[in-house]
């Protein structure tokens, strides 16, 4: 019995085993293998749909790396063209990639939040989502990525909430960068437990303003090489524990409210190359030990209440390139030892109380490019040896007590762009050699005791205004306040007459309408290839050596980069001049081309312009849309303020419509797309932003075109958030010819003002010129009876042959007339305009050439009243 029962048990076990095996088999057959799941996930993500849908070739798709087993290990599409992730970010099945170690989507516009499933990428070591336009809170599931070593979510301005405590699980992290987001709360103490951290960057966040201390245990992270906490609202002193971070190379704490003195323990940080505490509340004297840091290359101490003098033993800073101690209370003399620091490229001691003379040995600093000693108590002569500084581009000695005459050897400084010697006690004639400084774009010799006559200036970059009587004056007058100088002769400052008249011509056209972007007017500058030397000052070992990520650090480094790329805003790089700013093209050392909008120096001090600049920053850092120009960064530097944009190869719509060649290249299909782009951008501003944003200055100047003539709305200097509570009364802003008529009497801004301006730009795009005349006829529509649409269409283009294009033109013209309705209420909303542009079904009842403008104007009534489409 026993044996038979044993037998049946064994049989049972066998049967069960066979059963289980067969189940297991069916399961394996039903469930895809890991490799198959990967393939499915890749296809379903849709990211590569423009390349291939054949998943068996996925290891060859761009941006993909696989291991030998054919499983994906890396996805890096940060630089791959023609991939559209966008809203499909969350469509990738993150659970299907058991071997993925690297995901780099930086610089790709991604929509929405970081999907919480990202926590399923269990093998991930590197995650880069910087500059992706992401929003919302950081998902706690990021804490599941315990293998992570490198995490970069920087410069996603709309990421908010606090840093999730789960990030404390990421014990393998080596580099954490959360700069440039809207994270709030405080700097979490658990970061001090991530003992492998070498780089911690939390610059420019919304941490509790003014009441945030650096957690004590951060000073225990002995491995730290980079600690960058600028603009974090930090209060309290820097503890002596700082001296424990022996590996520190960059300590960046600018724009906080740190008080106390600089601890002398800083002298232990022998590897330090970059020290920046600019703009804090530090007081006391600069510790002697700071001057022992032989590896230091960049030192920013300005905008504090530091005192004392620059000691003789500054000579130990053998590697220093950037020395900036501005606007503090430094006294004493410049030590001769400074002249031994021959690597110096940048000295800025602006606004201190340094006295004595400027040592003549300064002429030995042959790498010097920028020397600002202005607003101090210097006296004595300007040393002749300054003329040896052949690389000098900017020299400012203004607002001192310098006497004697201007040494003629300053005329040797052929690279000089800025020469400010104003408000001193300088005597004698202005050396004629100054006239040879061809690159000068800033000259100020005012308020001295100069005598004699004004030399003939060869510089073509000085800002010239037409003072009437064919007299071209330099503005502002660089010579005023010198009573013994012969009366200001209207200089003919430009030897090259043709050039001068071109400049004047442009100024005449552009000044009244306040153009910022006149990209193509000096288009010929564009085509010359600039070979740029990588002569950055204070260069940082930025992440991956990628110089474009300079924004991860701070505006001042960016400033130096931009100065290098444009050779201190050399006119050669200027591609447009506007009412109060100039636009430059800059190729950064990494090859990326950007556009810079820079305020003229005087205007930068004008609060109104300053406000408009800050306004633009506020809006453009918060909004992101494919038809709105992208802001890459900004710099609000004391000496120059500029914004950095995506570069638009084709310049403004205005200029393209006026250029005979470009106008023809902009065929009807492109023009339709341009108008659609503007409409979508405006609809986004009015309906997808909360509170809604009114641009207030839509004009063809403020629509920029990229190389494929796609439209981007630019210039948010006057944009305004609609306050739904208050009356929204304002001053009139905007460009003449585009401003809605009701603004003249009501001064109330509504989004319907933009709708009107859109109508003008749409018609302008169809007609190829501003529809001034047509606008005046609109008040008496009967005058339109005999006008046909084709009579006003841009006659540089042949009439459309395609029925579809013709329908689009009719639809746009109809919408434009509706937008130009004098009654704001009767104008359609931008949302309606977009819907109509995308879904409208205008089937032409009559041929295009028969359609009269009156028909279109009458038709508009239906659109405004939402009665649907109108068949012409």
Ligand X SMILES: *[C@@H]1O[C@H](CO)[C@@H](O)[C@H](O)[C@H]1NC(C)=O
Q: Which of 14, 23, 24, 390 binds ligand X (CB under 6 A)?
A: 390
**By C-beta, is 83 or 426 nearer to ligand X?**
83
Find the shortest distance in angstroms from Cβ 848 to ligand X: 27
User: Interior CA angle at 662 toward 814 and 765, to 5°?
Assistant: 15
> Of 118-126, 641-649, 654-662, 726-734, which segment contacts ligand X by CB under 6 A?
118-126
Rounded distance, CA 208 to CA 514, Å? 39
> Of 114-122, 297-305, 312-320, 508-516, which segment contacts ligand X by CB under 6 A?
114-122
Q: Which of 95, 217, 342, 841 binds ligand X (CB under 6 A)?
A: 95
Q: Which of 73, 99, 117, 172 binds ligand X (CB under 6 A)?
A: 117
DSSP H or E stretch at residue 324? strand 322-324
Which residue among the candidates 697, 723, 754, 791 is catalytic per the annotation?
697
Q: Which of 71, 166, 412, 730 binds ligand X (CB under 6 A)?
A: 166
Interacting residues with ligand X between 526 and 545 (CB under 6 A): 535, 544
**By C-beta, is 30 or 724 nearer to ligand X?**
30
**By C-beta, is 12 or 136 nearer to ligand X?**
136
Task: Tell me: does residue 128 bind ligand X (CB under 6 A).
Answer: yes
> Of 79-87, 677-685, 701-709, 852-860, which segment contacts ligand X by CB under 6 A?
79-87
Q: In what order do the strands lie in the sheet with 235-236?
A: 235-236, 257-260, 281-285, 305-309, 329-331
**Token digits of residue 253:** 């704490």
**By C-beta, is 96 or 852 nearer to ligand X?**
96
Rounded distance, CA 826 to CA 818, Å? 8
Establish whether 667 is a catalytic residue.
no
Q: Which of 24, 26, 79, 843 binds ligand X (CB under 6 A)?
A: 79
Please name which of 432, 475, 425, 472 lies closest in space to residue 454, comparing C-alpha atoms. 432
Q: Is 774 helix (H, G, I), strand (E, B) or coil?
A: helix
For residue 68, count other CB atoms closer than 10 A to its CB: 5
**By C-beta, is 346 or 642 nearer to ligand X?**
346
Contact indicator for 518, 510 with CB cutoff of 8 Å: yes
Q: Which of 73, 99, 147, 160 binds ligand X (CB under 6 A)?
A: 160
Rounded distance, CA 45 to CA 94, Å? 10
Task: Tell me: does residue 93 bind ligand X (CB under 6 A).
Answer: yes
Task: Tell me: does residue 10 bind ligand X (CB under 6 A).
Answer: no
Contact indicator for 116, 136 with CB cutoff of 8 Å: no
Contact indicator for 392, 369 with CB cutoff of 8 Å: yes
Find the shortest distance in angstroms from Cβ 717 to ligand X: 24
List CB contacts of 686: < 8 A, sequence separation 6 or more: 692, 693, 694, 751, 754, 829, 830, 831
**Using CB under 6 A as the criterion, what x/- string covers residues 31-50 for binding ligand X?**
------x------------x
Task: Tell me: does residue 271 bind ligand X (CB under 6 A).
Answer: yes
433 burial class (0-12, 13-18, 19+ CB within 10 angstroms)?
middle
> Of 154-162, 328-336, 348-356, 727-735, which segment contacts ligand X by CB under 6 A?
154-162
Task: Tell me: does residue 621 bind ligand X (CB under 6 A).
Answer: no
List CB contacts of 461: < 8 A, sequence separation 6 or more: 417, 439, 440, 441, 570, 571, 574
Q: Which of 39, 45, 61, 78 binds ligand X (CB under 6 A)?
A: 78
List CB contacts of 842: < 8 A, sequence separation 6 or more: 807, 810, 811, 814, 869, 870, 871, 872
> Of 92-100, 332-340, 695-703, 831-839, which segment contacts ligand X by CB under 6 A?
92-100
Interacting residues with ligand X between 359 and 378 (CB under 6 A): 366-367
Q: Which of 73, 99, 120, 261 binds ligand X (CB under 6 A)?
A: 120
User: Interior CA angle at 465 toward 460 and 468, to 5°?
Assistant: 125
Task: Tell me: does residue 189 bind ligand X (CB under 6 A).
Answer: no
DSSP H or E stretch at residue 633? strand 631-636
Q: Which of 85, 90, 101, 126 binds ligand X (CB under 6 A)?
A: 126
Q: Which of 21, 22, 57, 802 binds ligand X (CB under 6 A)?
A: 57
Rounded distance, CA 128 to CA 130, Å? 6
Asked if residue 257 belongs to a known ligand binding site, the reply is: no
Task: Tell me: does residue 319 bind ligand X (CB under 6 A).
Answer: no
Find the shortest distance in angstroms from Cβ 101 to ligand X: 10
**Token digits of residue 636:** 């609000």
DSSP H or E stretch at residue 285? strand 281-285
Find the shortest distance in angstroms from Cβ 509 to ligand X: 36
DSSP structural state of residue 442:
E
Tell me the catalytic residues.
697
What residues form the annotated binding site?
597
**Residue list for the binding site for ATP:** 597
Give the residues lining the site for ligand X (CB under 6 A). 37, 50, 54, 56-57, 76, 78-79, 82, 84, 93, 95-96, 102, 104, 116-117, 119-120, 126, 128, 135-137, 140-141, 143-144, 158, 160-161, 166, 211, 246-247, 270-271, 366-367, 390-391, 535, 544
């Amino acid at each position: 019995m026993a044996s038979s029962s044993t037998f049946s048990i064994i049989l049972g076990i066998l049967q069960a085993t066979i059963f289980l095996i067969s189940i297991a088999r069916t399961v394996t057959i039903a469930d895809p293998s890991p490799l198959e799941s990967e393939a499915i996930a890749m296809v379903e993500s849709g990211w590569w749909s423009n390349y291939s849908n054949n998943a068996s070739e996925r290891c060859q798709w761009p941006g993909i790396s696989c291991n030998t087993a054919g499983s994906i290990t890396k996805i890096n599409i940060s630089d791959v063209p023609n991939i559209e992730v966008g809203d499909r970010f969350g469509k990738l099945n993150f659970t299907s990639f058991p071997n993925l170690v690297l995901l780099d989507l930086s610089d790709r516009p991604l929509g929405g939040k970081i999907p919480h499933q990202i926590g399923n990428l269990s093998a991930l070591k590197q995650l880069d989502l910087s500059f992706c336009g992401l929003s919302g809170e950081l998902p706690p599931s990021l804490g599941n990525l315990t293998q992570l070593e490198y995490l970069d979510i920087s410069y996603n301005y709309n990421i908010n909430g606090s840093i999730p405590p789960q990030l404390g699980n990421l014990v393998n992290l080596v580099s954490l960068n959360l700069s440039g987001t809207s994270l709030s709360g405080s700097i979490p103490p658990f970061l001090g437990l991530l003992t492998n951290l070498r780089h911690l960057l939390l610059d420019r966040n919304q941490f509790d303003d003014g009441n945030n201390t650096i957690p004590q245990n951060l000073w225990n992270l002995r491995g730290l090489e980079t600690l960058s906490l600028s603009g974090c609202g930090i209060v309290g002193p820097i503890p002596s524990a700082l001296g424990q971070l022996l590996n520190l190379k960059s300590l960046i704490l600018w724009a906080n409210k740190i008080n106390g003195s600089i601890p002398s323990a800083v002298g232990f940080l022998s590897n330090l190359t970059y020290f920046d505490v600019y703009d804090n509340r530090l007081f006391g004297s600069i510790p002697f030990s700071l001057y022992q840091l032989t590896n230091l290359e960049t030192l920013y101490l300005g905008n504090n209440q530091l005192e004392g003098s620059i000691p003789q033993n500054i000579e130990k800073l053998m590697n220093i390139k950037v020395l900036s101690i501005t606007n503090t209370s430094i006294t004493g003399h410049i030590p001769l030892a400074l002249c031994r620091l021959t690597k110096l490229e940048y000295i800025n001691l602006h606004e201190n109380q340094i006295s004595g003379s400027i040592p003549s040995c300064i002429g030995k600093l042959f790498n010097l490019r920028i020397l600002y000693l202005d607003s101090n108590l210097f006296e004595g002569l300007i040393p002749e040896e300054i003329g040896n500084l052949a690389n000098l581009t900017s020299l400012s000695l203004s607002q001192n007590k310098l006497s004697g005459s201007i040494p003629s050897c300053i005329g040797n400084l052929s690279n000089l762009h800025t020469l400010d010697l104003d408000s001193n006690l300088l005597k004698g004639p202005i050396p004629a050699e100054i006239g040879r400084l061809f690159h000068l774009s800033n000259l100020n010799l005012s308020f001295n005791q100069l005598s004699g006559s004004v030399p003939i200036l060869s510089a073509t970059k000085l800002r010239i205004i037409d003072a009437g009587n064919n007299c071209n004056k330099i503005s502002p007058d660089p010579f005023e306040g010198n009573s013994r100088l012969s009366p200001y002769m209207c200089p003919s400052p430009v030897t090259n007459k043709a050039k001068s008249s071109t400049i004047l011509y442009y100024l005449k056209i552009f000044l009244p309408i306040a153009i910022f972007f006149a990209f193509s007017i000096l288009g010929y500058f564009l085509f010359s290839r600039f070979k740029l030397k990588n002569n950055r000052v204070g260069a940082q070992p930025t992440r991956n050596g990628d110089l474009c990520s300079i924004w991860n650090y701070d505006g001042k480094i960016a400033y130096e980069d931009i100065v290098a790329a444009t050779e201190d805003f050399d006119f050669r790089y200027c591609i447009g001049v506007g009412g109060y700013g100039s636009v430059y093209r800059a190729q950064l050392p990494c090859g990326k081309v950007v556009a810079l909008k820079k305020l003229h120096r005087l205007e930068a001090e004008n609060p109104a312009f300053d406000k408009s600049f800050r306004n633009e920053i506020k809006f453009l850092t918060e909004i992101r849309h494919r038809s709105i120009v992208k802001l890459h960064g900004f710099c609000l530097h004391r000496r120059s303020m500029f914004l950095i944009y995506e570069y638009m190869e084709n310049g403004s719509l205005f200029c393209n419509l006026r250029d005979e060649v470009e106008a023809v290249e902009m065929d009807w299909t492109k023009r339709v797309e341009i108008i659609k782009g503007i409409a979508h951008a405006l609809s986004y501003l009015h309906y997808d932003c909360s509170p809604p944003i009114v641009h207030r200055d839509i004009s063809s100047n403020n629509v920029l075109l990229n190389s494929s003539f796609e439209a981007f709305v630019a210039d948010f200097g006057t944009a305004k958030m609609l306050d739904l509570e208050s009356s929204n009364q304002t001053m009139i802003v905007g460009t003449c010819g585009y401003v809605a008529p009701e603004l003249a009497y009501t001064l109330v801004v509504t989004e319907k003002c933009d709708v009107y301006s859109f109508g003008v730009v749409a018609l302008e795009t169809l007609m190829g010129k501003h529809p001034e005349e047509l606008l005046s006829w609109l008040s008496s529509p009967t005058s339109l009876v005999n006008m046909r649409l084709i009579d006003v269409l841009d006659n540089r283009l042949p009439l459309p042959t395609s029925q579809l294009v013709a329908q689009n033109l009719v639809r746009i013209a109809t919408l434009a007339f509706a937008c130009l309705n004098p009654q704001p209420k009767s104008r359609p909303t931008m949302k309606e305009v977009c819907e109509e542009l995308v879904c409208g079904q205008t089937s032409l009842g009559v041929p295009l050439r028969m359609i009269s403008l009156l028909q279109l104007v009458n038709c508009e009534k239906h659109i405004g009243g939402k009665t649907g489409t109108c068949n012409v």
